[in-house]
Structure 1
């Protein structure tokens, strides 16, 4: 959550925004080569999301999240890549029952560290990337006091397929499936059990103009939450990424 000539991220997928019928996500980022060999890349972005109430269908109805993210990718073998990242997220919290007013406090702050390990299989036409990601998440109220959920460990398993629609690779389709498992620690409680939480299914169209170092991604995500009585949230997503604004090394 790009032209997509580098081995790193391909689009900025939406974060999960909780209970709703629909949601929207917009992000803007910079991808920059760090070394001359192209083995190290930096990806920085800011994003924000809005969502509907569970009783309406407007994906822009109310504010939900603001994200600042910094990630570094390293290709250390021909087909292997890892990344490390730090993220700050400020998320609005709402009650689960009508009229879905804000909780008190209505904001939760999150600091997240995560790392990925990916295997990249490429041909001139397709790129297939299975990825394992581990998140460490800590949460705070707006005044940095302790919220109900204090800490979470979350593991994510993703399969992503990118298909070049043209020989110049200016037009692409990107599809992915990701499953999330997590264990949480509540305030004054021990760490809970490690369980399946949700799945995310994405389909994106990616366009990279030939003469402009920008990539535009338009996508849809279905967030299937829970396992006993699962429900879906439908996301519209747009992100724009500028490539090497400070020059290629």
Structure 2
């Protein structure tokens, strides 16, 4: 299984290291070793300068997941997210961004009836750099490198077993412009995640830096006619290294997001 995943990752990466020119798309976070999950978000995208080169996306989101006993993606509350990100496109092909995020995740017992036993809080800051290739009139290819710092707390802001984490992500996304009508697009992406964590358990120490998971996603994106709203509907498969779910094809996500694009006042 590991060998086939490695070959798939190399193949997709060869197609092109991409992320997309669709700055508004909101991808699901990883929700751990489960069977299925559902993610939904509402975001507001707006310009921060008259040229439109600097924009921001703020969103609120929630996720649910199945319990170990079923495949119902709505079975358990999984995450609550507040996120704010600023993007700056300094050339037509180059873009960087920086963000801050707050996340709150319930923890459940590992044995039936899988009751909630606690909550973990996370504060995250990250930055990313993107480069976009134009591949003709309908295709685009965008490469993204993203570096994160993640700090974890208990509900009363005390230390957790995992103190903090440094995580590096490389994402590739291929974008096909289906039609100018309603700005319809189709995307295919692959993302590899590598991390190292500082742990509080068994004495303070670091674990080893390494590959942790790969996420493969496809999205259909369109603008609601005669409105400032963009809708993203998609599917993601999360392949987590050394997990139970990887032997069943990974964790399966359904996602639906809506973005309110606030126009420039001059327009």
Q: Does 1:28 align with 2:42?
A: yes
Q: CA deviation at 1:168?
A: 3.9
Q: Does 1:242 align with 2:260?
A: yes
Separation (CA, whole Å) in 2 of partners of 1:164 and 1:174: 9
Aligned 1:109-148 pairs, distance under 5 A: 109-122=121-134, 123-148=136-161
2:8 corresponds to which residue? none
Aligned residues between the structures: 242
Any conservation in 2 of the 1:50–1:61 contact (CA below 8 Å)? yes
Q: Does 1:196 align with 2:211?
A: yes
Deviates more, 1:230-239 or 1:44-53: 230-239
State the Cα RMSD in Å: 1.8
Q: CA deviation at 1:10?
A: 4.2
Separation (CA, whole Å) in 1 of partners of 2:221 and 2:123: 29
The answer for unaligned runs of 5 or more in structure 1 is 1-5
2:224 corresponds to which residue? 209
2:192 corresponds to which residue? 179
Q: CA deviation at 1:9?
A: 2.1
The structure-2 alpha-carbon separation of the partners of 1:8 and 1:37, relative to structure 1 and needing over 3 Å to count, comes to farther
Aligned 1:50-129 pairs, distance under 5 A: 50-103=64-117, 106-122=118-134, 123-129=136-142
- Deviation sequence 1:105-145 (CA, Å, 0-9, x none): x1000000000110012343122111000010000000001
Q: CA deviation at 1:99?
A: 3.1
Separation (CA, whole Å) in 2 of partners of 1:31 and 1:126: 24
TM, length-normalised to structure 2: 0.85
